[in-house]
Structure 1
Amino acid sequence: MTDRVTVVVATRNRRDRLFETLPEHRAPVILVDNGSTDGGPDAVEAAFPAVEVVRLGENRGAAARNEGVRRATTPYVAFADDDSYWSPGSLDRAAALMDTHDRLGLVTARVLIGPEGRTDPVSQAMAAAPIGIPPGAPGPSVLGFLSCAVVVRREAFLAAGGFQPRLFVYGEEALLAMDLAAAGWWLCYDPALEVRHFPLPAGRDGGARRRIETRNRMLTALLRRPPAVVARTVTGALPESPAAVWDAVRALPWALRHRRPLPPGVEADLQRLAAADELEPVAG
C-alpha cells in the first residue's frame, strides 16, 4: 500500500458497488458522498473504518472530488469511481513517476472494462500519441482523460481550481485538462498503469446525459476556445440537442465572465487532436 497517494471516490446511491470496489483499493481512501439516500455512508463507515467518509448533504456532481482533494494530505491524489479501482502496483508506479518528473501534473492509466478486461477506446486513442511526447516526459501527451483513471499532483489540481461545479457531470474533464496544460503542467498517458472499470449496463436516462454532455461541450468552448471553435461547437450541437443549446445560452453571461482563452500552444494541440480524431477514429 502506498502512502504517497490518496484515492478519492465520489459516489451517490451506489452502496452495493462500493462494497465490491472499496476492498480493492491499495491506498488511503476518502469517500465523498453526494447526498446519498440509500444508507451508503453509514454502511461504509461501519464496514470500512479506515475509509474517511465525507457527507456533502447535496449532489455536487464531479465537483465533489474537489472536497476530497482538499482533505487529502498526500502529495498525489488518484480518482476512482464507485465502480472502479486501480490495479495492484499502479499507484506506486504513478507516485514514482510524479516524484521523478516535477512537471508532471497528471498521469492517466489504461482502463480495462468489465471482467474480460477490454481496453477502453479512450485508452487506445491516447496510446496513439496524436500530439506527441514532450522531451523528457514519461509518456504521450494528452489533453483529456477519464476521471476514474488519473492521478493528479495535488498542488496543481488545487491551483487550477479542480472540477468546475457549474459543469456538474459528464465531460467535466476537458476544462480541467485545458487549465492544467495552460498552467504549464504535463498531462501524460502511461499504459503500464491500469484501472479496472465495471460499469453497470445502460439504465440511466441517456437523453438527459446527452443533453448535459452537449451543454458542457459548448460551455467549455465558450470558456476557453477561439470564437471560430465556439461557433462550430454550437452549430454541431443544435441538431443534436436544441435543449442543450438553450441551456448554454442561459449560462452565456456566466461563461463570458469566466472566459480565459488558452495559450496558443495548448490551442494548437487541441486543433491537432481534433484533426487526428477526424482522420483516424478509434473503433469502439
Structure 2
Amino acid sequence: MSLITATGNYGAGPAPIETDDVTIVVATRNRPDRLAETAAHHRAPLIVVDNASDEPVRLAGADVVALDTNIGAAARNVGVERARTPYVAFADDDSYWAPGSLAAAAALLRAHPRTALVAAEVRVGPAGRLDPVSAAMAAAPLGTPSGGAGPSILGFLACAVVVRRDAFLAAGGFLPRLFMYGEEALLAMDLAAAGWLLCYTPPLQVRHFPEPAGRDLRGRRRLETRNRVLTALLRRPPAVIARTATAALGTNPAALADGLRHVPWALRHRRRLPGPVEEALCRLAAEPDRGPGTAPP
C-alpha cells in the first residue's frame, strides 16, 4: 500500500471538525463522485482507504491510503491502524454522520468505559426513512445492560458505528477471509466474547444514500450467505451450523459450496463463544421481528 498526499479537487474537503477524539475511516472503490459528495459532510479527521480503484482516489483534506488489491471490508482495518484517536467512526462512500453525532459518540464512550461500540440510528435517502435494522435495534430485545451506553446489540451496520480503537484492534477487526457483506457479525461476536458491550444509541444519527441500482445484488446475496456459513463454522455450536447450512442449501446452494471450501481453514480457527453470548444470539434469533444485521442465525 502507499500513502497519497491529497492535492486534487474532488470535492471541497470535510466540514469543520467537531471533535479531535474521533477519526472517520471510509473504504471505497471506484466511486469518486459519491465519495466527494459525502466527504464534504464529515466533521472529524478523515482517512480514506482506496480498495485498488481503477483511478487513484484524490480527495482534498483527507489522508488517502491506496491499496494494491481490493481486500473488501478489511480495508477498514488499515484505516483504524493508521488512526491515532481513541475512537474511530466508520462511514461508507455513500453515507455520513449527522452534525453533532461524532462528538456525542465520543462523550458516550468516555462515559461508558465498558462499551466498545455505539451504533447510530440510520436514516436512508433524501426522505430520511428509518432503516429496518435501526428499527429492530430500537426494539431492544436484549435490554439495556448495566454500564452500557444504550440497549445491547450483537450486530451492526458498519457504516453507522463508532468503535473504541484499542478494542477493535485487539478483536482483530474485520476478518479478511469474509471479504464483505455480513462481515460485521463475526466482529460483534468477538467483541462481546472479549467482555465488551455493544450498544444502540439512537441520539446518534447517520445519513445513508445508497444507489438504487448498479450493484451486483446476486453476487452480494451469494457472499452474504457464504459468510453466514463461515461465521457459524467459526463460532457457533453444531446445531446452529447445521441450520445455517440447511438454510443456505435451500436458498443459495452455490454460496453453501463456497463456504464448504473453507471448512479446513474454519476448523483451524474455530473458537466457541462464551455461554452468555451464545444464549443472547439464540434469543435474538428467536425474535419474530428481528431485522437483518442485529444478529446472525
Which residue in 2 is equivalent to 1:146? 157
Letter in 1 for 2:237: P
Normalization by structure 2: what TM-score? Answer: 0.91
Instruction: Tell me, yes or no, if the aligned pair for 2:49 and 2:78 is still in contact at 8 Å.
Output: yes
Structure 2: distance between partners of 1:75 and 1:227: 38
**Correspondence for 2:3:** none
In the alignment, is residue 280 of structure 1 matched against residue 289 of structure 2? yes
Distance 2:169 2:29 in 1: 23
Shift of 1:216: 0.1
Cα deviation digits, residues 164-196 of structure 1 (max 9, x gap): 000000000000000000000010001000000
Q: Which residue of 2 aligns with 1:38?
A: 55
Give 5+ residue unaligned stretches, structure 2.
1-17, 293-297
2:69 to 58, 76, 80: 58
Task: Report how far residue 205 of structure 1 moved.
Answer: 1.7
Correspondence for 1:226: 237
User: 1:137: how far off?
Assistant: 1.6
User: Of 94, 97, 100, which aligns to 2:108?
Assistant: 97
Q: Are the aligned partners of 2:115 and 2:147 in contact in 1 as well (CA < 8 Å)? A: no
2:253 equivalent among 238, 242, 257:
242
Q: How does 1:1-284 map to 2 (within 5 A)?
A: 1-39=18-56, 41=57, 43-44=58-59, 48=60, 50-276=61-287, 279-280=288-289
Displacement of 1:102 in angstroms is 0.6
Structure with more helix by fraction: 1
**Which amino acid in the other structure matches residue 278 of structure 2?**
E
Say which SS state the counterpart of residue 102 (structure 2) adopts.
helix
CA pair 263-281 structure 1, distance change in 2 beyond 3 A: closer
Q: Percent of aligned pairs with the same residue?
A: 68
Instruction: Give structure 1 stretches of 5+ with no counterpart.
Output: none
**CA distance 1:167–1:282, change in 2 (3 Å):** closer
The one-letter code of the counterpart of 1:108 is A
Equivalent-residue separation in structure 1 for 2:23 and 2:35 (angstroms)? 17
C-alpha offsets along residues 63-82 of structure 1, whole Å, 9 cap, x if unaligned? 00000000000000000000
**1:202 positional shift:** 2.6
> How many Å apart are 1:281 and its aligned residue?
5.0
Paired with 2:279 and 2:290, the residues of 1 have a C-alpha distance of 19
Distance 1:159 1:274 in 2: 27
Three-state SS of the structure 1 residue aligned to 2:93 is coil
RMSD: 1.1
Please tell me whether the aligned partners of residues 142 and 151 of structure 2 are also in contact (alpha carbons under 8 angstroms). yes
* 8 Å contact from structure 2 (residues 109, 149) kept in 1: no
| Further displaced range: 244-253 or 2-11 | 244-253
In the TM superposition, residue 38 of structure 1 has moved relative to its aligned partner by: 3.2
Once residues 11 and 19 of structure 1 are traced to their aligned partners in structure 2, the CA distance between those partners, rounded to angstroms, is 11
Aligned residue in 1 for 2:15? none
CA offsets 1:110-147 (integer angstroms, 9 cap, x no match): 00000100010000000000111102322100000000
The alignment of Structure 1 onto Structure 2 pairs a total of residues equal to 275
CA distance in 1, matches of 2:140, 2:72: 30
Further displaced range: 166-175 or 235-244:
235-244
TM-score, length basis structure 1: 0.95
CA distance in 2 between counterparts of 1:23 and 1:105 reads 27
Residue 203 of structure 1, CA deviation: 2.3
Amino acid at match of 1:162: G
- For each residue in 1:49-90, what CA deviation from the matched residue of structure 2 results, as whole angstroms up to 9, or x when unmatched? x20000011100000000000000000000000000000000
